[in-house]
Amino acid sequence: MKSVLIDVTTLITIGIVFVVPFIFILLTAAKTRGEAALFRFSWPDEFQLLENIREVMVFGDNRMILALWNSTLLTVGAVMLIVLFSALVAFVMQRRGDRLASVVGTFMLAGLIIPPAVVPTIFLLQWLGIYKTLIGLIMVEVAFSMPFAILIFRAFMSSIPRELDEAAIMDGASPLRVFFTIILPLLRPAIVTVVVTSSVAIFNDFVGPLYFLPGAENVTAPLTLYSFISQFSSQWNLLFADVIVITILPLIVFIFFQKQLVSGMMGGAIKG
């Protein structure tokens, strides 16, 4: 009886925290401009969700299509580098186990705690000549996401016996070949976990593109929210329709990979 009560309480809490706000967003996105401005939790008098989404997509000479394309390029490029670099760093840190690896691990942990410095990062990007470029923002996203990804890979990699490395090296394999042919295929659950968490976070990132990728031609999906809200006039129905468009892709990715995500997180936690 007690467990049933806990389950019911958990479901009600989840419904209040996650489901109810999403329903409110969906209903508001389906209303007219005047009705949406009232912010009432009610069924729209005239259901026009598809019309609002269509208006969002064509607004500003198809600005949303350009934003989705930029966000997709940003996400794919950053996630590929995050997986590659994080897995390599985690492999070295896990297999060395000396003082240097401990120091590097401390810096990785600091990367999860210390907030990023925006102004020095902008100066660095300008000095490198990649400020206001997609490559520059990809590098920033990789740097911000690697500490968490390294922790996931390192925890999961601890379950892989060292004897596999030693046997391959005795057969003449180089460390890089050991990593790419033996270790990396075994990291599939951890890779899925890192890909899902990183892609959702990067695709929905609002602050990064705002600071490091300014310019109308560099717009990303979250920044299109600015198109429908201003100091004197706001189109709340289109704003919430924009939120739905932005949410669709990450939601599909999360739903499709949720089992692999949970198995990767729990596998690393148990085996680490």
Give the integer Cα–Cα distance in Å for 8 and 204. 31
Give the integer Cα–Cα distance in Å for 213 and 133. 6
pTM: 0.83
CA atoms within 13 A on the CB side of 187: 29
Domain assignment of residue 260, given as a range: 65-271
Per-residue pLDDT of 215-266, as tens digits, reads 878 889 898 888 888 766 788 889 999 999 888 877 777 777 666 555 555 5
Q: What is the mean pLDDT of the chain?
A: 84
**pLDDT of 199 over the 60 cut:** yes
Within-domain flag for 6: no
Within-domain flag for 237: yes
Task: Quote the number of domains for the chain.
Answer: 1
Within-domain flag for 55: no
Q: For position 200, which CATH number holds?
A: 1.10.3720.10
Within-domain flag for 155: yes
Radius of gyration of the chain (CA): 23
Cβ atoms of residues 195 and 152 within 8 Å: no
Looking at the DSSP assignment, which residues form a beta bridge with residue 120? none
Give the integer Cα–Cα distance in Å for 133 and 71. 13
Within-domain flag for 130: yes
